[in-house]
């Protein structure tokens, strides 16, 4: 059996690598172009070091917004080409319009064209090299799984869907031999004696334990894993790996040990964080409402022509600590949309008007909720507030659903920028996993990440 490369890159390592080499490659090519063609617009030297920093900041921010660090998309060159061109175009535009900290416009405007082309060529060349080299199978993270055979398919799918470079090679069955067949693995079910041998022969990067200690984890199996741990093989529990790869809390798998497993973020009680969070809420709310006032004539005309009813509407939602409040939105559905009772909005819901669909896609229908933020009923970032009729039912069906009410609901949130549209109980479970991840890891950095990803949702018209 031939050995595979033992080198692999984790998600965080690949994202850091992409960010650093994006900047390095762009600045390196700009330096070469400036030296060879003697351009005076952009120079990299000790006198103009601020120019490079401003360009690097713009490039990083817009590359994040336009999803150049989404690893699933970073491995598809056709998607990368589109996103690189959009990123470089917006970066150059903002760079040209930034006063004081960027160079004066050159008399020979052709230099701007070369500046733009150099950024595109540098990023495309590096991203192509990343796809050919780093995203190649030789750098996959190869994993052995310890789990019940009935759970293997679901575990493998959830892990590999979240990280395209994560590969489960085979598994040890901790349950009864019921003839379950798992497809798409290099090797099938293995015995205890094979674990150590295959770990060496297949250059396994990690062993993931996806079964409770009380179910199938025998003394012999534990001893085998301890020997591998002593030999330097990382062994991790499935819920930890799942959270790291998916940025979700697998609440359905940690019911018995939830409070031990789920340490709440200190930011939820940190007065300094909460103070600055409130300041940012007010700041973004003022900007959001000002933007809404500018677009108000457009909303009024669109509503008169396409909606033919009241422009605004309010609805009762569940807020922090289960307190009910009235949420404000721009109306996107037909009048009397719920004459037959409350129901989940669905993808391509026929009750949504044509203009309402535009409002939802662009997220403009959420603008009036900044009033709720100013009133203190909501925050800019947090779990989306749900209707009382649905909350009562979801609390009974989904474990720990009420935990999401420990923080203020938000105009946008971790679930909104990651999960698909919530039109069923399964979708609500997925959104809860993201909401609990936010509550567990709540921080200023995560808040900024959500704001940037929200901009991506608006730019790519993916609101629902």
Distance CA 183, CA 157 (A): 11
The tens place of each residue's pLDDT in the chain, 464 residues long, gives 344 455 667 777 888 999 999 999 999 999 998 888 878 788 888 888 899 999 999 999 999 988 899 888 888 899 999 999 999 999 999 999 998 888 888 778 888 888 999 999 999 999 999 998 887 766 788 888 998 888 888 888 888 777 777 888 888 888 777 666 676 777 777 888 788 887 877 778 889 988 765 566 788 888 888 888 888 888 988 888 888 888 888 876 665 556 555 666 666 778 888 999 999 999 999 999 999 999 999 999 998 888 878 899 899 999 999 999 999 999 888 877 666 666 666 666 678 888 888 888 888 999 999 999 999 999 999 999 999 988 988 888 887 888 889 899 999 999 988 887 656 677 888 899 999 999 988 888 899 889 988 888 887 766 55
Maximum separation of any 2 CA atoms in the chain, in Å: 77
In sequence order, which ranges of 44-183 are alpha helices (DSSP H)?
49-65, 71-74, 77-97, 110-129, 149-162
Class of domain 140-246: alpha beta
**What does DSSP assign to residue 211?**
S
Residue ranges per domain, the chain?
11-135, 140-246, 271-460
Annotate 136-150 with three-state secondary structure: CHHHCEEEEEEECHH
pLDDT of the residue at 147: 87
| pLDDT score recorded for residue 378 | 96
132 CB-near residues (< 8 Å, 6+ apart): none
pLDDT on residue 170: 85
SS3 of residue 379 by DSSP: strand
CB 156 within 8 A of CB 182: yes
Do the bridges between strand 410-412 and strand 166-173 make them parallel or antiparallel, or are there none, so unpaired?
A: unpaired
């Amino acid at each position: 059996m031939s050995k595979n490369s033992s080198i692999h890159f984790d998600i965080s390592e690949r994202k850091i690598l992409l960010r650093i080499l994006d900047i390095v490659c762009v600045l390196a090519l700009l330096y070469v172009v400036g030296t060879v063609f003697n351009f005076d617009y952009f120079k990299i030297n000790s006198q103009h070091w601020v120019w490079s920093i401003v360009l690097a900041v713009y490039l990083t921010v817009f590359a994040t917004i336009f999803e150049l660090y989404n690893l699933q998309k970073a491995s598809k060159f056709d998607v990368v080409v589109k996103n690189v061109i959009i990123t470089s175009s917006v970066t150059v535009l903002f760079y040209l319009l930034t006063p004081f900290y960027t160079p004066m416009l050159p008399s020979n405007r052709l230099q701007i064209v070369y500046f733009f082309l150099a950024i595109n060529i540098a990023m495309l060349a590096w991203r192509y090299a990343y796809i050919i080299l780093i995203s190649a199978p030789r750098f996959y993270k190869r994993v052995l799984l310890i789990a019940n055979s009935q759970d293997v398919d679901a575990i493998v799918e959830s892990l590999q869907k979240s990280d395209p470079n994560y590969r489960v090679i085979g598994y040890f069955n901790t349950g009864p031999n019921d003839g379950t067949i798992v497809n798409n693995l290099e090797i099938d079910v293995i015995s205890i004696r094979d674990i150590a041998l295959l770990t060496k022969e297949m250059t396994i990067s990690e062993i993931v334990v996806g079964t409770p200690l009380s179910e199938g984890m025998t003394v012999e199996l534990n001893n085998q894993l301890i020997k591998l741990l002593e030999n330097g093989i990382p062994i991790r529990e499935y819920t930890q790996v799942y959270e790291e790869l998916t940025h979700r809390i697998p609440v359905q798998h940690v019911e018995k040990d939830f409070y031990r497993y789920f340490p709440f973020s200190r930011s939820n009680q940190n007065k300094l964080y909460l103070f600055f969070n409130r300041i940012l809420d007010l700041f973004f709310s003022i900007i959001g409402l000002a933007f809404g006032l500018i677009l108000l004539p457009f909303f009024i005309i669109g509503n008169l022509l396409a909606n033919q009813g009241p422009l605004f509407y309010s609805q009762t939602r569940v807020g922090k600590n289960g307190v009910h409040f009235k949420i404000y939105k721009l109306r996107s559905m037909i009048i009397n949309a719920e004459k037959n009772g409350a129901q989940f909005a669905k993808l391509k819901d026929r009750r949504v008007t044509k203009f309402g669909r535009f409002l939802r896609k662009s997220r403009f229908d959420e603008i009036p909720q900044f009033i709720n933020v100013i009133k203190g009923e909501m925050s800019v970032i947090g779990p989306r507030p749900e209707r009382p009729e649905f909350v009562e039912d979801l609390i009974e069906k989904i474990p720990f659903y009420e935990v999401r009410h420990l923080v203020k609901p938000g105009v946008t949130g971790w679930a909104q920028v990651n999960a698909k549209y919530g039109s069923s109980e399964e979708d609500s479970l997925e959104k809860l996993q993201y909401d609990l991840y936010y509550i567990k890891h709540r921080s200023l950095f995560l808040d900024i990440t959500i704001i940037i990803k929200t901009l991506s949702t608006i730019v790519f018209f993916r609101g629902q």
